[in-house]
Structure 1
Amino acid sequence: MLAVKNTPENSGYITEQAYLEGEKTAEFRHEYVDGQIYAMAGTSRRHNRIALNIVRHLPLQRQDGTPCDVYSSDVKVRASKRKSFYYPDVVLTCTPDNADAYYVEQPCLIVEVTSKSTDWKDRSEKLLAYQALESLQAYLIVAQDKPHVTFYYRQADDGTWWVAAFEDLDQEITLPCLDTPLALADIYAGVDFTQPAEPDR
């Protein structure tokens, strides 16, 4: 197979500006990675329930009184170092972020509720893109089929990234940018694990 580097000089390259303008009127959402756009698949009801559970349990200010904004699904995150725009399931920002009305550039927390079709991307491409965001302090990958949260977090003293896994509904995750706990029982409230998360294909 002949590989052709995707550059602005190639006719198939889509600029960031063209993508952003097109996305405002697009029938379906798309993510953007260095000149290419990728249509996003629909989500299951369980996926949506989990994301909304998380939104409901995130406080809108830090313990120091700093106000925060939380968004779900329809607000993009710009990962400028990777020339990418993604739609996280949940994104929290606690710093003034007025670059654009349709995306944020300084999130402190990102959550992806993973599925069979997105798991690899959530744990590789998006992980690298999100960790390159200087403002980001935590990234959660939340499973649908069982209680399981992968928690990537940045050490405040030296900026290194660490990872931990949580699988017990009695456990709590302390979110560094809020310094507040998020319980797995709250994340998975109302979820019936005896039923499949997604239909077999």
Structure 2
Amino acid sequence: MKVNSTELQNNFGKYLMLAAQEDIIITRNGMEIAKLSAIRDAVSDCGAVPGTVMEKAKVYGCDGRKASYEEFLELTKDTEERYEYIDGEIYLLASPKTAHQIALTELFGVFYNWFQGKECTPLVAPYDITLKRNPENINVVQPDIMVICDLEEKLDENDYYQGVPALVVEILSEGTRRKDLIKKLDLYMSCGVREYWIANPINREVTVYLFADNNISSSITYRKSEIAQSYIFEGLSAELGRIFK
């Protein structure tokens, strides 16, 4: 594909995404001057580079360049790919593996059944959650499971939720461990999420965090055949032997 330098500059996010599929030849005054190509096999310190099929792959960030929220919206508006946007970096979400999906299915089944007839509603990915550290720092994530207690109140005119879930669940994979354990933990803690579950199919563990005043108030890790318990929803529990088959 060929594109002139002005078009590339004005739509950099779009062409950076396309470069994962094919080389982009950049022209100026009709002359070829550069090529934008994906690095398909290398892995850098900040995760897989664009073009690799890993959930922690960054579209922006590895080269030190931050993306604006507007660039993120432009990149994602006409694509079926799944992306997250955390502290100015865009992450491409790859297709999860079987262990991840089994844990997700089993855990969501537990949540769905327990919340029947109750005020809060459990939802499952893909579903965008917009979290604001402040008016200038807008983030968009897709938790594996989220429990929302103000759904009808916080839906906008386009049927998107604009509130903060009471509880979120992330199921780890090799490609998302660092993001889920560090970046998302801090984001959820800072933006008003009250409880965070991290399910680890690799180690067959579930860690439950309780947040208060932008800090970790309490946490506990459940292992083997133990039963994970919610802090904020009394009676909500999940048997690890059922989640990790």
TM class, shorter-chain normalised?
A: 0.7 to 0.9
1:15 aligns with 2:69: yes
Question: What's the CA shift string for 1:153-197, capped at 9, x where partnerless?
Answer: 1359x9752211100323231341x322212246516x1xxxxxx
Q: Quick one: distance in 1 between partners of 2:100 and 2:118?
A: 29
Q: What CA deviation, in whole Å up to 9, does each residue of 1:29-63 have, x standing for no partner?
A: 01112443221121012211111211111157869
The AA in structure 1 aligned to 2:69 is T
How far apart are residue 123 of structure 1 and its match? Answer: 1.0
What is the TM-score of this pair, normalised by structure 2?
0.62
CA deviation after TM superposition for structure 1 residue 102, in Å: 3.7
Distance of 2:73 and 2:161 partners within structure 1: 9
**SS of 2:111's equivalent?**
coil
Tell me by how many angstroms 1:94 deviates.
0.8
Cross-structure match for 1:50: 103
User: What is the deviation of 1:103?
Assistant: 4.4
Letter in 2 for 1:122: D
> Partner amino acid for 2:128?
K
2:200 to 131, 140, 143: 143
Q: Which is strand-richer, 1 or 2?
A: 2
Question: Per chain length, whose mean CA-contact separation is higher, i.e. which structure has more relative contact order (CA < 8 Å, sep 6+)?
Answer: 1
Equivalent runs, 1:82-101 vs 2, <5 Å: 82-95=137-150, 96-99=153-156, 101=159
Q: The residue matched to 2:76 in structure 1 has which SS? A: helix
Determine whether 1:174 maps to 2:230: yes
Residues 159 and 39 (structure 1), Cα distance of their counterparts in 2 relative to 1, 3 Å cut: closer
SS in 2 for 1:80: strand
**RMSD, matched Cα:** 2.9
- Equivalences for 1:1-201 in 2 at 5 Å? 6=66, 13-16=67-70, 19-20=72-73, 22-59=75-112, 66-81=118-133, 82-95=137-150, 96-99=153-156, 101-134=159-192, 136-154=193-211, 161-176=217-232, 178-185=233-240, 187-188=242-243, 191=245
Whole-angstrom distance in 2 between the partners of 1:80 and 1:155: 17
Give the distance between the partners of 2:242 and 2:132, measured in 1 at CA.
30
Q: Please identify, of 122-131 and 97-106, the stretch whose mean Cα deviation from structure 2 is larger.
A: 97-106
- Give the whole-Å Cα distance in 2 for the aligned partners of 1:24 and 1:187: 37
Q: Across the two proteins, how many residue pairs are aligned to each other?
A: 177
Give the conservation status (yes or no) of the 8 Å contact 1:142–1:149: yes
**TM-score, scaled relative to structure 1:** 0.74
CA shift, 1:131, in A, is 0.5
CA distance change for structure 1 residues 160 and 5 in 2, over 3 Å: closer, same or farther? same
Distance 1:71 1:152 in 2: 19
Call closer, same or farther: CA 1:124–1:34 in 2, change over 3 Å: closer
- Deviation track 1:49-101 (CA, whole Å, cap 9, x = no partner) reads 111211111157869x7522222111122221052111111111012321463
Letter in 2 for 1:172: A
Check conservation: 1:60, 1:67, Cα contact below 8 A. no
